[in-house]
Amino acid sequence: MKRDADGDWPVLVNGSADAIAGGTGAGDGAPHALVVGGGLAGISSALILAERGWRVTLAEARPRLGGRATSYQRGELTVDNGQHVFLRCCTAYRGLLERLDAGPSSGLSVLQDRLDIPLRAPDGATARLKRTGAPAPLHLAGSLLGYGLLPLRDRSKLGRAALALRFTDPADPAVDAQSFGAFMRKRGQSQRAVNRLWSVISTATLNIDPDAASLALAVKVFRTGLLEDSTGSDLGYAAVPLGEIHDTRARAALTKQGVDIRDATKVLSLDAELNVRLRARDESELTLRPDAVVLAVPHDVAAALLPAQVPKPFAELGHSPIMNVHVRYDRPVLDGPFLAGVDSPAQWIFDRTGPTGLPGAGHYVAVTVSAADALIDKPVAELRSLFENELARLLPAARDAKVEDFFVTREKQATFRQASGSAALRPGPVTPVPGLYLAGAWTATGWPDTMESAVRSGISAARAAQEQWVTAHPSGTGARV
Ligand SMILES: Cc1cc2nc3c(=O)[nH]c(=O)nc-3n(C[C@H](O)[C@H](O)[C@H](O)COP(=O)(O)OP(=O)(O)OC[C@H]3O[C@@H](n4cnc5c(N)ncnc54)[C@H](O)[C@@H]3O)c2cc1C
- What CATH number is associated with residue 461? 3.50.50.60
The DSSP letter of residue 149 is T
In order of 44, 54, 242, 315, the CA distances from 254 in angstroms are 9, 12, 17, 30
Signed CA dihedral, 92, 97, 100, 103: sign only:
negative
Gap from CA of 458 to ligand 1 centroid (Å): 12
Q: How far is CA 115 from CA 24, 86, 140, 281, 387, in A?
A: 39, 12, 10, 44, 27
In a domain, 116, yes or no: no
Domain boundary among 233, 257, 290: 233
- The answer to whether residues 309 and 332 belong to one domain is no
Q: What is the pLDDT of residue 476?
A: 63
Do 434 and 461 sit in the same domain of this protein? yes
Picking from 234, 204, 238, the residue whose alpha carbon sits closest to that of residue 87 is 234
Q: Say yes or no: 347 and 405 in one domain.
A: yes
Model pLDDT, residue 481? 37
Adjacency order of strands within the sheet including 55-59: 260-262, 55-59, 32-36, 292-295, 436-438
CA distance 330 to 328: 7
What's the pLDDT band for 155 if we cut at 50, 70, 90? very high
Q: Tell me whether residue 207 is in a domain.
A: yes
Is 21 contained in some domain? no
* Residues 309 and 431 reside in one and the same domain: yes
Question: By mean pLDDT, which of 74-78, 117-121, 245-249, 360-364 is the weakest?
Answer: 360-364
Residue 162 C-alpha to ligand 1 middle, in angstroms? 31
The CATH number of the domain where 345 resides is what?
3.90.660.10
Q: How far is the CA of 125 from the centre of ligand 1 (A)?
A: 35
**What DSSP character marks residue 430?**
B
- Residue 198: inside a domain: yes
204 with 150, same domain? yes
- Report, in angstroms and rounded to the nearest whole number, the Rg of the chain calculated over CA atoms: 22
Is the domain of 217 the same as that of 274?
no
Q: Which atom of ligand 1 is nearest to the CA of 413?
A: 53
Start-end of H helices in 262-356 = 299-305, 353-356
Name the maximum alpha-carbon separation found in the chain. 73
Q: Which domain holds residue 331?
A: 71-111+319-416
Whether residues 349 and 221 fall in one domain: no
Shared domain for 167 and 216, answered yes or no, is yes
Residues 424-477 have pLDDT tens digits of 999 999 999 999 999 999 999 999 999 999 999 999 999 999 999 999 988 765
* CB atoms near residue 313 (< 10 Å): 11
Q: Is residue 112 predicted with pLDDT exceeding 80?
A: yes
Contact 18, 432 (CB under 8 A): no
Distance CA 179, CA 183 (A): 6
Render pLDDT for 122-151 as a digit per residue (tens, 0 to 9). Answer: 999 999 999 999 999 899 999 999 999 999
From 416, 444, 463, the end of a domain falls on 416
User: Is the model's pLDDT at 7 over the cut of 50?
Assistant: no
Report how far residue 334's alpha carbon sits from residue 341's, in angstroms, rounded to the nearest whole number: 12
For the chain, what percent of residues have pLDDT higher than 90? Answer: 88
CA 41–ligand 1 middle distance (angstroms): 8
Q: Which residues line ligand 1 (CB under 6 A)?
A: 36-42, 59-62, 67-69, 81-82, 84-86, 266-267, 296-298, 301, 322, 324, 411, 414-415, 440-441, 449-452, 454
Q: What is the pLDDT of residues 172-199, one digit of tens each?
A: 999 999 999 999 999 999 999 999 999 9
The pLDDT tens digits of the residues spanning 367-416 come to: 999 999 999 999 999 999 999 999 999 999 999 999 999 999 999 999 99
By most ligand atoms within 8 Å of CB, the mutation choice from 68, 323, 338, 411 for ligand 1 is 68
- Is 289 contained in some domain? yes
Cα 259 to middle of ligand 1, angstroms: 20
Kindly state whether residues 255 and 188 are assigned to the same domain.
Answer: no
Q: Is 312 part of any domain?
A: yes
Last residue of a domain, one of 211, 233, 255: 233
Half-sphere CA count of 201, side-chain side, radius 13 A: 25
Burial grade of 48 (CB within 10 A; 0-12, 13-18, 19 or more):
buried
Are 93 and 156 contained in the same domain?
Answer: no
Number of domains within the chain: 3
User: Are 294 and 348 within one domain?
Assistant: no
pLDDT of 357: 72
300 lies in a domain? yes
**18 has pLDDT over 50:** no
Is the residue at 47 inside a domain?
yes
**Which atom of ligand 1 lies at the shortest distance from residue 298's CA?**
30
CA-CA distance, 190 to 119, in Å (whole number)?
19
